[in-house]
């Protein structure tokens, strides 16, 4: 009889968790004095961090590659926009509903797709990413999606002193959602379900021989991954107050993959490093050339492959551990 597999995901160092908490609270307080543009950039980093975290749940912990997460980002954004614009739902109700919808869509899509070989899974997700923006322009549902023109949303209204600091209030709400998503992902990966998913990735034959339904595990994780990315899309709609098909091209999926590999595919906090990279790089590089961001993305991927295969998070953690070990061995 096979021994039970018990493979835990690597935990972030304690010092890093405490440091991140203190820095996050200090940054949140300091940001109250920021102007609109820095707040917008920070909001985008947090939003894409949630999306990349969702992609990491799939890529890093099940070993499946998705080229279609821009579609789930779009579904989350449009679900929130439709609920707000057509039904008058407040964003704090529409956002979680959008995430649940994306979980359902991801689960239903993943059930047949994850039975395909890796190449065909990648192709099927690629097809979804390409089709989704075109489907949103379909004439028969233009009354719902706004067609090419998209949907313009009203800016959220906050009470009290936050009424004049709407941009900060939105950023703070996104930060709270990012923290909740991070804690939920850690809980999932630390639970038995997460350990079984990890086992199905590292030792699929042994896991299957032990009676695990690998396809079912991966399908559930695909749904969770889609829910996280859909949550990010929903928050993006709230932050920008606008959705349109052109906002969700296939290149968005590529950007999320780049951010995942730069930050580290098996790191939750590394997702936010990757998000900072894909948000800040275009802003800094487009002053040189329109194609400069993608050139930098390409060089960054090569650098990660050869110099830091575990991403920036893995490099930082490894550097700290090597220093800690060297200091502990000194006489």
What is the share, in percent, of the chain residues with pLDDT greater than 90? 52
Give the pLDDT band (50/70/90) at residue 2. Answer: very low
Instruction: Using the predicted structure, report yes or no on whether residue 124 has a pLDDT greater than 80.
Output: yes
CB-CB contact of 45 with 234 (8 Å): no
Give the pLDDT band (50/70/90) at residue 274. Answer: very high
Instruction: Using the predicted structure, report yes or no on whether residue 99 has a pLDDT greater than 90.
Output: yes
Instruction: Using the predicted structure, report yes or no on whether residue 48 has a pLDDT greater than 50.
Output: yes
CB atoms closer than 10 angstroms to residue 165: 17
Tell which wins on pLDDT, 212 or 267. Answer: 267
Among 20-34, 149-163, 241-255, 302-316, top mean pLDDT goes to 241-255
Q: Of 180, 181, 183, 211, which Cα lies nearest the Cα of 196?
A: 211
Instruction: Using the predicted structure, report yes or no on whether residue 189 has a pLDDT greater than 80.
Output: yes
Give the pLDDT band (50/70/90) at residue 325. Answer: low
Q: Of 230, 297, 252, which Cα lies nearest the Cα of 67?
A: 252
Among 92-101, 117-126, 187-196, top mean pLDDT goes to 92-101
Q: What is the mean pLDDT of the chain?
A: 86
Give the pLDDT band (50/70/90) at residue 261. Answer: very high
pLDDT at 94: 95
pLDDT single digits (tens) 135-171: 999 999 999 999 999 999 998 888 877 777 889 999 9
Tell which wins on pLDDT, 218 or 29. Answer: 218
Instruction: Using the predicted structure, report yes or no on whether residue 327 has a pLDDT greater than 70.
Output: no
Mean pLDDT throughout 168-197?
91
User: What pTM did the predictor assign?
Assistant: 0.89
pLDDT at 44: 96
Instruction: Using the predicted structure, report yes or no on whether residue 234 has a pLDDT greater than 50.
Output: yes
pLDDT at 211: 74
Mean pLDDT throughout 271-279?
93
Give the pLDDT band (50/70/90) at residue 227. Answer: very high
DSSP element (H, E) containing 51: helix 36-62
Tokens found for residue 104: 């359902």
Comparing 29-38, 72-81, 96-105, 135-144, the range with the smallest average pLDDT is 29-38
The interaxial angle of helices 166-190 and 14-30, nearest 10 deg, is: 170
Instruction: Using the predicted structure, report yes or no on whether residue 111 has a pLDDT greater than 80.
Output: yes
List Cα–Cα distances, 254 to 25, 123, 150, 213, 258, in angstroms: 31, 13, 23, 30, 6
């Amino acid at each position: 009889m096979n021994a039970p597999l018990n493979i835990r995901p690597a935990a972030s160092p304690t010092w890093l968790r405490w440091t991140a908490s203190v820095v996050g609270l200090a940054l949140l307080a300091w940001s109250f004095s920021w102007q609109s543009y820095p707040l917008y950039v920070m909001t985008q980093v947090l939003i894409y961090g949630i999306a990349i975290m969702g992609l990491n749940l799939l890529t890093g912990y099940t070993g499946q590659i998705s080229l279609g997460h821009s579609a789930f980002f779009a579904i989350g954004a449009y679900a929130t926009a439709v609920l707000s614009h057509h039904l008058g739902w407040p964003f704090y109700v529409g956002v979680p509903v959008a995430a649940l919808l994306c979980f359902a869509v991801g689960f239903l899509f993943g059930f047949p797709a994850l039975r395909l070989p890796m190449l065909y899974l990648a192709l099927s997700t690629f097809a979804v990413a390409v089709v989704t923006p075109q489907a949103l322009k379909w004439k028969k549902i233009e009354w719902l999606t706004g067609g090419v023109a998209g949907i313009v949303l009203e800016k959220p209204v906050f009470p009290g002193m936050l009424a004049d600091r709407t941009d900060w209030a939105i950023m703070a709400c996104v930060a709270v959602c990012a923290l909740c998503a991070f804690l939920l992902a850690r809980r999932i990966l630390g639970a038995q379900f997460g350990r079984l998913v990890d086992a199905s990735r590292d030792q699929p034959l042994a896991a299957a021989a032990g009676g695990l339904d690998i396809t079912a595990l991966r399908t559930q994780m695909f749904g969770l991954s889609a829910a996280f990315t859909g949550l990010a899309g929903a928050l993006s709609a709230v932050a920008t107050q606008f959705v349109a098909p052109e906002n969700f091209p296939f290149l968005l999926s590529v950007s999320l993959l780049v951010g995942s590999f730069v930050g580290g595919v098996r790191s939750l906090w590394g997702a936010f490093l990757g998000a900072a990279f894909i948000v800040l790089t275009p802003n800094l590089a487009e002053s040189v050339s329109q194609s400069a961001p993608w050139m930098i993305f390409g060089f960054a991927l090569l650098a990660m492959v050869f110099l830091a295969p575990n991403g920036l998070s893995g490099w930082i953690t490894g550097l700290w551990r090597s220093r800690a070990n060297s200091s502990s061995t000194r006489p």
